[in-house]
Amino acid sequence: MGYCKFSKYNLFFFICLFFSAYGEYNSNQISSDQAALLAFKAGIVADPDNVLDSWNASGVPVCNWPGIRCHKTTGKVVELVLSHYSLTGTISPSLSNLSDLEVLDLSQNSFEGIIPPELGSLSQLKQLSLSSNLLKGNIPSSLGSLHQLVYLDLGSNQLAGEIPESLLCNGSFALQYLDLSNNSLSGKIPLRNECFLEDLKFLLLWSNQLVGEVPPALANSTKLEWLDLESNSLSGELPADIVYRMPRLQFLYLSYNNFRSHHGNTDLQHFFASLRNSSNLQELELAGNGLSGKLPSIIGDLSINLVQIHLDDNHIYGPIPPEISNLDNLTLLNLSSNLLNGSIPTELCQIQKLERLYLANNQLSGNIPSELGNALHLGLLDLSNNHLSGTIPDSFANLSQLRRLLLYGNSLSGEIPPSLGKCNNLEILDLSQNRITGMIPDEVAGLSSLKLYLNLSSNLLHGPVPLELSKMDMVLAIDLSSNNLSGSIPSQLGSCIALEYLNLSSNHLKGNLPASVGRLPYLKTLDVSVNQLNGVLPESLRESTSLIMLNFSYNHFFGNVSNEGAFSSLTVSSFLGNPGLCGSVRGMPICHRKRTRHFVMAILVSLVASSIFFMVAYPLLLKFKFRRHLTGERVKDIESEEKERKELKLLRISHKQLIEATGGFRCSSLIGSGQFGQVYKGVLQDTTPIAVKVLNSKAAGELSCSFKRECEVLRRTRHRNLIRIITICSKPDFKALVLPLMPNGSLENHLYPSPGSKRDLDLVQLVNICSDVAEGMAYLHHHSPVRVVHCDLKPSNILLDEDMTAFVTDFGISRLIKGADEDTSTNDSASYSSTDGLLCGSVGYIAPEYGMGKRASTQGDVYSYGVLLLEIVTGKRPTSVLFEEGSNLHEWIKSCYPHNLHPIVEDALGRFSPGGRPTTDDQNKRWRDVILEMIELGLICTQYNPSTRPTMLDIAHEIGLLKEYLSYSSSQHIEEVPVEPISNPLP
């Protein structure tokens, strides 16, 4: 019994000793994890969200720290996830002491320095993501020791050097996802024949500086679904033998490399035949390689799931195979900029889902198939710069979704079909450089949907300039030059209020140049040269604040021309061939005044007539007006005005006081003009400076709605960056908003100063302005009592006070969404379509989804804000980029991103430094960093898919960090401050 009793106590003692030792061991391990995490925290220099505040040596247990997950049994740290927290600093090697770590995700931050090689000792690591940071240096070869690694993402950093061979060549490697894209990696892809990546599904190496051929060993990755090698310097033959062994391939991107086709760049069939095995293929991109050979008929045997094919910018020749029509689900086909010949196959028109068809810059001939009218989803058709002949098919009238029709640079003949006027969504119509005859149909001239440009130049058109052009109140450019047009220039062109470019040169036009043309508020270029116009040049042209380029040469104009206003920068070259002109323009003959007896008599008669009028007729007129104002109509006006004033509880200012304050709304008081009216500056009797927004009375119904909507928005919103309302003045024939006068005008005036003036805003001021705008828009979207979609965010709608604080204004086409007491989690789009009533914004700033009938939404404002950022950085209007580059601002910047941004950044540095460039290396670096961040944020905001854009709250936060970052550039601090990283804007 004694022995048994001792044995029991001995056993109990042993068990206690064991668990005591185990507990001490486990506690030491947890303590070790804690020490590693605290050492990591010590390397963080900025934590704007204070996410690591609770990370400390006492108090909250390690497993309850933000971003940490522990094993349920051992209590060891197995996950460290701190993505999207705006952290700045370096990655501490101490993380290698987290021996049980399985997931390490520090993506979407601003970590600098190198990737610690010590991370290669995390033997249990399965997922490592350090993407979208500012990491430099080489990729550590020690990462090849992570045998359990399934997911590795180091994309969108500043990594350089070669890809370590150990990363791809490890027999026990279980890697499924590898992303090294958007860096500066060089050398070859180091995958030897004896290396196997059998489980690899995603390989993303785009936008680097890789060279050499695609390694044959990649054929062992038979599970590959996504292969993106775009924008490198890879060479050799297209990897037919490799993709043949990838039956699960869905996305293949090989564009913009130096690949060649089979048999010395003559045979494309070999490669396309290898793709027939990839039955899930959805997108194929081979653009910009200089590939040669005929497009094989077996292209029609590719995956029925194919949605997009990009073969542009190559040397592909021969006809377009009709078998391509077998690809029923194709939405985009780009074969432009090749050497294709023959006719456009009618079978191509059978692809019912086709939305965009690019066949430009080839050698196609024959007629345009009328069957294209059956592709009812077609939104873009570009057949420009070919050898097409015949007439424009009437069947295009069936294309209700058509937005861009580009047929220029062909040999088309016949007349413009009036049925094109039924294409109610058309934004661009370019039929220039053809042999089209006849008159311009009224139905086409009256296409009010045109928002970008109408180009009918270099044809054989005759007849008058149609009056119906006045309906194009949103078009930016009209070019009717080099035709046989006759008659006069209609004064109704003054209704094309958005017009920036008007070219009527080389026609047979006669008569005077209408003064209304000079009053177009945004007109920059006017060319009426080589016509038979006569008369005196309208004074409105000289007074224009927008005109930059003018050409009146070879007409019959006469009179005195002053070198003031818009004419101040012109030389005699703008007036050649008009012997009747004289004046003070450089190189022009000086005018000699001639006083005649008839002139003096005319003055005397005028004086006598004026005296009689003021003595007799004027008192009678005043008496008549006074009596009429005492009638019921005036009483009704007063009651209406009182009702609206009482409703808004605003300061009372009469119509008469506004007339006195603005000098009778004279031209010298005009400070702005838009689609719905004009803005005048004025001073009240108490010396208060004001801005009076007078709405145009010609569109009473629409403007009444716009007026009420703006009043409603201004009445119910209060924010330091939103314009406030002083009062309103409303009568049946007069409606005006009275607002504070902003002494520094609009952002537009500073971005695009008048000729002879210099840009006066530096980068710090511009970032502050962007921050103000983001804060105001975030309030409208998320905090206003009635949530608002602005719908027209652009530089002219951003005003600046004496301190250069920015105010968002012009809510005339805004959408009120819902009250704060309603559920805001399910919908942030307006309750009616963007096409109801008014157009959602200005051309160039309009979100692409609006053009497809989508509802107005906060994401649309985010898109406009992104365009604004890109516009500020590039110094280019979004419409100018369209004319110069043939693409929108987003696509143009995206084509330069990330390796060709240097010219854009250098140009921005020059424009953002009116007082001289940054003088210190630190300041210079900060300015460059901020410019790059603005570009990336602009690209993210202008992504095509609205759901991928950030919210205005996120944007306001990002810009706030840039403000903080810049604020240190002029101080004595040398430590880094947080700059929010931007996720990769190129999917």
Instruction: Write the CB contacts of 806 (distance below 8 Å, at least 6 apart in sequence).
Output: 721, 747, 768, 769, 772, 773, 776, 798, 799, 800
Provide long-range contacts, Cβ within 8 A and 24+ apart, for 898-903. Answer: 898/182, 898/207, 899/184, 899/207, 899/231, 901/932, 901/935
Instruction: Report the DSSP beta bridge partners of residue 501.
Output: 477, 525
Q: Report CA-CA distances (Å) from 503 to 282, 526, 661, 844, 861.
A: 44, 6, 39, 21, 33
Name the residue with tokens 């070219």.
Answer: 503
Query: Which residue ranges are tagged as binding site for ATP?
Result: 693
Q: In what order do the strands lie in the sheet with 233-237?
A: 160-162, 184-187, 209-212, 233-237, 258-260
299 backbone dihedrals φ, ψ, rounded to 5°: -60, -25
Q: Which two tokens stand for residue 38?
A: 């605290």
Q: Which parts are annotated binding residues?
A: 693
Q: Rounded distance, CA 605 to CA 746, Å?
A: 47
* Cα Rg, the chain, nearest whole Å: 34
How far apart (Å, rounded) are the C-alpha atoms in residues 430 and 410?
Answer: 11
Contacts of 757 (CB under 8 A, 6+ apart): none
Question: CA-to-CA distance for 824 and 140, rounded, in angstroms?
Answer: 47
The Cβ-side half-sphere exposure at 240, using a 13 Å CA radius, reads: 14
- Quick check: bond before 48 cis, omega within 30? no
Q: How far is CA 486 from CA 226, 439, 501, 527, 578, in A?
A: 59, 10, 20, 16, 19
Cβ atoms of 789 and 818 within 8 Å: the answer is: no
Yes or no: say if 935 and 897 are a contact pair by the CB < 8 Å rule: yes
Using a 10 angstrom Cβ sphere, with 0-12 exposed, 13-18 middle and 19 or more buried, the burial of residue 606 is exposed
| Partners of residue 477 on adjacent β-strands | 453, 501
The two tokens of residue 188 are 């070859």
361 dihedral zone (left: phi>0; alpha: psi -120 to 50; beta): left
DSSP state of 656: H
How far apart are alpha carbons 961 and 691 in whole angstroms?
A: 33
Decide: helix, strand or coil at residue 498: coil
Cβ atoms of residues 75 and 100 within 8 Å: no
Quick one: which H or E segment has residue 816?
strand 815-819
Question: Which entry of 105, 228, 762, 792 is annotated as an active-site residue?
Answer: 792
Report which residue type is found at 227. L
What is the rounded CA–CA span in Å between residue 713 and residue 814? 8
Q: Decide: 303 and 328 in contact? Cβ < 8 Å.
A: no
Give the Cα separation of 155 and 183 in Å (integer).
Answer: 7
> 739 near 809, Cβ under 8 Å?
yes
Q: Are 950 and 940 in contact (CB under 8 A)?
A: yes
632-648 vs 618-629: helix axis angle to the nearest 10? 60
Cβ neighbour number for residue 720 with a 10 Å cutoff: 12
CA-based nearest residue to 504, from 547, 466, 450: 466
Active site includes 792?
A: yes
Which residues are annotated as catalytic?
A: 792
